[in-house]
């Protein structure tokens, strides 16, 4: 289990390649920064976090999901700082014996991260205006 | 609750603001001296000082770097983090 | 949109990296061959298909999903032939503006592929026994 | 239905089996000569020839390489694919 908050770009690859052979299903989610917000052209997003608490809460979410859905493993990475359109802000990956658990667990983790982690984003628009969410 | 004094004694507390609350409060950190009170009462004090904080529910707070309960009483030297509604992902 | 039936190994990477910037969510599914089936040690699986019909039906499934869930794009690759434990038999990836549609669509596509494509698998066990599903 | 003859005329059809049905039928392809009949009636003929085919529902068939309707009547030269319940993924 890995839960991480980082400013480095998120590299996407098959995260459970070497985890043994009882894995039957892997579901991954990528949250990507869009180029518009409320139909205004976005220059980039800025994500601020209470990194310590966000990281602790993320690991709590993963732990809950692993127990609730009998997962074999789960990973989540939230990028913070400046993120440009097309870049990945959130990566979640889970694996389980069967597919149903993986789909449900991945969705649960993404929802929980968005609801529970002390992370905030600010739109920086092409026209120079800014707005916190 | 032994050692609990009503009124009188002033507590020095450090308030940490995040995201848009930094703009509402005009600072990332604010040091205040207040009577002993619950965190939820302290939030009302903060709203009086910075009226824009009234605009929305401050649902999450942290006390000394841990998620806190709003009913907890503040102690001298405490750091209270005041979080806007989260918007990660 | 790509739907493919192939004997080559499936390489996993971020499939929509260069697809423009209205993408907000990417959900991917990997079906992986487990090392046991009915608690017997598996040597490998063998997948047989009516390749023409399976490929047509897969593209029909993707097309239905794109319309039903307003996806931006969808990809599915089903590997056939001999597949060893730990290797990927099925890869599905979808992207949309928001996450809810991507999760639902990815799950719909995986279910539909398993229910509708003329593909069959045979267990080849370590002990030499074999059994079609 | 013009040109439709009841009885008499024999149709040559090619039956393609897949997966375990190859083992049940003992062949991948079987050429038969039968009276004109619906695909569903043809399936009953096949079950009589290869009793293990009775073990389960043959829910999907293809006619000349396209998904077919079991009510369709066979024509001379048709290829009928007989699919076991699918198990991909």
- Exposure class string for B19-52: b at 16+ Cβ within 10 A, else e: bbbbebbeeeebebeeebeebeebbeebeeebee
Report the percentage of chain B scoring pLDDT > 70: 90
Number of domains into which chain A is organized: 1
CA distance C51 to chain A (A): 23
The structure tokens listed for A132 are 């916190």
CA distance C79 to chain A (A): 15
pLDDT tens digits, one per residue of B16-46: 999 999 999 999 999 999 999 999 999 999 9
Give bridge partners of residue D17 from the DSSP assignment. D82
Contacts of C52 in chain D (CB under 8 A): 65
The structure tokens listed for C62 are 């993707």
Of C12, C35, C85, Cβ closest to residue A13: C12
Q: Give the CATH number of the domain where residue A68 resides.
A: 3.90.1170.40
Contact flag for B and D (3+ C-beta pairs < 8 Å): no
Report yes or no on A132 lying in a domain: no
Report yes or no on A96 lying in a domain: yes
Backbone φ and ψ for B42, nearest 5 degrees, come out as: -60, -40
Which stretches of chain C sit within 8 Å of chain D by CB?
A: 31, 47-50, 52-54, 57, 78, 89-90, 110, 113-122, 132-133
Task: With CB atoms and an 8 Å threshold, state whether C27 touches A29.
Answer: yes
pLDDT at D5: 47
How far is the C-alpha of A109 from the C-alpha of A66, rounded, in Å?
A: 10
How far is the C-alpha of D84 from the C-alpha of B79, rounded, in Å?
A: 67
Identify which of A49, A46, A4 has the alpha carbon closest to the alpha carbon of residue B83. A49
pLDDT tens digits, one per residue of C46-62: 999 999 999 999 999 99
The chain-wide mean pLDDT, for chain A, equals 94
- Positions of E strands within chain B: 10-17, 29-35, 60-63, 66-67, 79-83
Residues of chain D with pLDDT under 50: 1-5
Distances A15 to A12, A87, A112 between C-alpha atoms, Å: 8, 18, 21
How far is the C-alpha of A100 from the C-alpha of A27, rounded, in Å?
A: 10
Report yes or no on C131 lying in a domain: no
Task: With CB atoms and an 8 Å threshold, state whether A25 touches C25.
Answer: no
Q: Could you tell me the CATH superfamily of domain D3-83?
A: Beta-grasp domain (3.10.20.30)
Task: With CB atoms and an 8 Å threshold, state whether D88 touches C132.
Answer: no
The structure tokens listed for D44 are 């009953």
Of D20, D65, D88, Cβ closest to residue C47: D88
How far is the C-alpha of C55 from the C-alpha of D29, rounded, in Å?
A: 22
Task: With CB atoms and an 8 Å threshold, state whether B88 touches A48.
Answer: no
Report yes or no on A79 lying in a domain: yes
For residue C91, give its domain range.
Answer: 2-11+22-126
What residues does each domain of chain D span? 3-83
Q: How many CB atoms lie within 10 A of CB B6?
A: 7
pLDDT tens digits, one per residue of C60-74: 999 999 999 999 999
Report yes or no on A17 lying in a domain: no
How far is the C-alpha of A90 from the C-alpha of A114, rounded, in Å?
A: 10
Report yes or no on C100 lying in a domain: yes
Of B65, B84, B89, Cβ closest to residue A113: B89
Q: How many CA atoms lie within 13 A of A33 on its CB side?
A: 28
C106 has a chain A CB within 8 A of its CB: yes
Is ipTM beyond 0.95?
no
Identify which of A59, A131, A110 has the alpha carbon closest to the alpha carbon of residue C25. A110
Cβ atoms of C111 and C58 closer than 8 Å: no
pLDDT at D59: 64
Contacts of A26 in chain C (CB under 8 A): 28-30, 32
Backbone φ and ψ for C28, nearest 5 degrees, come out as: -125, 150
Residues of chain A with pLDDT under 50: none
């Amino acid at each position: 289990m890995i839960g991480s908050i980082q400013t480095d770009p998120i590299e996407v690859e098959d995260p459970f390649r070497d985890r043994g052979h009882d894995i039957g299903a892997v579901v991954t989610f990528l949250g990507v920064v869009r180029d518009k917000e409320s139909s205004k052209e976005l220059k980039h997003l800025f994500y601020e976090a209470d990194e310590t608490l966000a990281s602790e809460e993320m690991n709590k979410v993963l732990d809950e999901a692993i127990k609730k859905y009998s997962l074999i493993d789960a990973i989540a990475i939230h990028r913070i700082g400046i993120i440009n359109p097309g870049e990945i802000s959130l990566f979640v990956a889970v694996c389980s014996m069967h597919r149903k658990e993986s789909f449900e667990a991945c969705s649960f983790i993404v929802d929980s991260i968005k609801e529970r982690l002390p992370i905030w984003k600010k739109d920086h628009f092409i026209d120079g205006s800014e707005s916190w969410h | 609750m032994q050692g609990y004094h009503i009124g009188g004694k002033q507590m020095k507390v450090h308030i940490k603001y995040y995201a848009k609350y930094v703009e509402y409060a005009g600072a990332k950190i604010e040091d205040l001296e207040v009577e002993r009170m619950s965190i939820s009462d302290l939030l009302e004090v903060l709203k009086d000082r910075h009226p824009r904080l009234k605009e929305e529910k401050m649902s999450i707070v942290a006390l000394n770097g841990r998620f806190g309960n709003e009913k907890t009483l503040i102690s001298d030297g405490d750091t209270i983090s005041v979080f806007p509604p989260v918007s990660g992902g």
